[in-house]
Structure 1
Amino acid sequence: MARLEKFSDIWARACERKGGPAVVKSMLPDTLDIDEISQYTDAQLLSVMSKRVFQSGFVWRVVDNKWPAYEKAFFGFEPMKVLMLSPDQIQQRATDPELIRHQKKTQAIVDNAYMIQHINQEHGSFAEFIAHWPSDDITGLWQVLKKRGTRLGGNTGPYFLRAIGKDTFLLSQDVQAYLTGHNVVDAGFTSQTALRQTQAAFNHWQQESGMSLAQISRTISLGVGDNRV
Structure 2
Amino acid sequence: MEWADGKIRCRWVNPKNERYIRYHDEEWGVLVHVDQKLFEMLILECFQAGLSLECVLNKREAFREAFDGFDFEKVCAYTEDKLKVLRSNPGIIRNRLKMQVAVTNARVFREIQKEYGSFSEYLWRWTDSKVVYEIGKTSSELSDRISKDMKKRGMKFVGSKVNYAYLHAVGVIYSHENNCFLANQGAEHDSVATAPVSFGIS
TM-score interval, normalised by the smaller of the two chains: 0.5 to 0.7
Q: Which residue does 1:198 correspond to in 2?
A: none
**Corresponding position: 1:112 with 2:105:** yes
Runs of 5+ consecutive residues of structure 2 not aligned to the other structure: 1-8, 11-23, 133-140, 176-192, 197-202
1:153 deviation in Å? 1.1
Q: Which residue does 2:167 correspond to in 1?
A: 161
**Corresponding position: 1:44 with 2:69:** no
2:55 partner SS: helix
Amino acid at match of 2:82: Q
1:1-16 counterparts in 2 under 5 A? Answer: none
1:97 deviation in Å? 1.6
| CA gap 1:132/1:59 in 2 versus in 1, 3 angstroms | closer
8 Å CA contact 1:145, 1:157 repeated in 2: no
Q: Which residue does 1:142 correspond to in 2?
A: 147
| Higher normalized helix content (fraction of residues) | 1
Supply the distance in 2 between the matched residues of 1:164 and 1:70 (Cα, whole angstroms): 18
Supply the distance in 1 between the matched residues of 2:37 and 2:195 (Cα, whole angstroms): 24
Supply the distance in 1 between the matched residues of 2:164 and 2:73 (Cα, whole angstroms): 25
**Corresponding position: 1:121 with 2:126:** no
Give the aligned CA root-mean-square deviation in angstroms.
2.9
Amino acid at match of 1:163: A
| CA gap 1:60/1:167 in 2 versus in 1, 3 angstroms | closer
8 Å CA contact 1:66, 1:99 repeated in 2: yes
2:157 partner SS: coil
Q: Give me the identity figure in percent.
A: 27
Given candidates 57, 74, 79, the residue that maps to 2:72 is 79
Amino acid at match of 2:165: Y
Given candidates 77, 95, 98, the residue that maps to 2:91 is 98
1:143-222 counterparts in 2 under 5 A? Answer: 143-148=148-153, 149-167=155-173, 211=194
1:140 deviation in Å? 2.0
Supply the distance in 1 between the matched residues of 2:38 and 2:58 (Cα, whole angstroms): 19
Supply the distance in 2 between the matched residues of 1:85 and 1:108 (Cα, whole angstroms): 11
Runs of 5+ consecutive residues of structure 1 not aligned to the other structure: 1-25, 170-209, 214-229
Q: Which residue does 2:54 correspond to in 1?
A: 61
Q: TM-score, length-normalised on structure 1?
A: 0.55
Amino acid at match of 1:152: V
8 Å CA contact 1:167, 1:212 repeated in 2: no
Supply the distance in 2 between the matched residues of 1:102 and 1:143 (Cα, whole angstroms): 24
Question: After the TM superposition, which of the residue ranges 152-161 and 128-137 deviates more from structure 2?
Answer: 128-137
Supply the distance in 2 between the matched residues of 1:48 and 1:212 (Cα, whole angstroms): 26
Amino acid at match of 2:164: P
2:59 partner SS: helix
| CA gap 1:158/1:168 in 2 versus in 1, 3 angstroms | farther
Runs of 4+ in 1 over 6 A off after TM superposition: none
Q: Which residue does 1:12 correspond to in 2?
A: none
1:212 deviation in Å? 5.4
Q: How many residue pairs were aligned? A: 143
| CA gap 1:61/1:140 in 2 versus in 1, 3 angstroms | closer
Residue-by-residue CA offset, 1:108-150 (whole Å, 9 max, x unaligned):
2111111110011111111111112137962322211233311
Residue-by-residue CA offset, 1:42-92 (whole Å, 9 max, x unaligned):
221111011111112123322211110110111111111112222111122
